[in-house]
Amino acid sequence: MPDAADRNAAFAGARVVITGGLGFIGSNLALRLVELGADLLLVDSLLPDSGGNPFNVAPVRDRVAIEIADIRDARAMRSLLAGCRYLFNLAAQTSHMGSMADPETDLEINCRAQLTLLEACREVCPEARIVYAGTRQIYGRPLYLPVDEKHPLRPVDANGVNKMAGEAYHILFHDAYGIHAAALRLTNTYGPRMRIKDARQTFIGAWLRAALEGRRFEVWDGTQFRDVTYVDDAVDAFLLAALSPAAKGAVFNIGGDRLRLGALADALVAANGGGGFETRAFPAERKRIDIGNYYADDTRFREATGWRPKVAAADGLRRTLDYFRVHLAEYL
Q: Is pLDDT at 5 greater than 70 in this prediction?
A: no
Tell me the average pLDDT of the chain: 92
Higher per-residue confidence, 5 vs 143: 143
Cβ of 315: how many Cβ atoms within 10 Å?
A: 14
pLDDT number for residue 67: 96
Is the entire prediction scored with pTM above 0.85? yes
pLDDT tens digits for 79-129? 999 999 999 999 877 666 776 787 888 877 888 899 999 999 999 999 999
The sign one gets for the Cα dihedral 85, 88, 92, 96 is: positive
pLDDT number for residue 3: 64
Starting at the earlier edge strand, list the strands of the sheet with 86-89: 65-68, 39-44, 15-19, 86-89, 129-135, 180-186, 251-253
Share of the chain above pLDDT 70, in %: 95
Q: What is the mean pLDDT of residues 285-314?
A: 91
Residue 28: pLDDT band with limits 50, 70, 90: very high
Environment class of 127 (CB within 10 Å of its CB; exposed 0-12, middle 13-18, buried 19+): exposed
Whole-number Cα distances in Å, 123 to 154, 192, 249: 33, 36, 19
What are the structural domains of the chain?
A: 4-196+228-258+295-310 (3.40.50.720)
Q: Is pLDDT at 187 greater than 70 in this prediction?
A: yes
| Helix or strand run (H / E) with residue 210 | helix 203-212
Q: Which three-class secondary structure state does DSSP give residue 213? A: coil
pLDDT tens digits for 220-237? 888 899 999 999 999 999
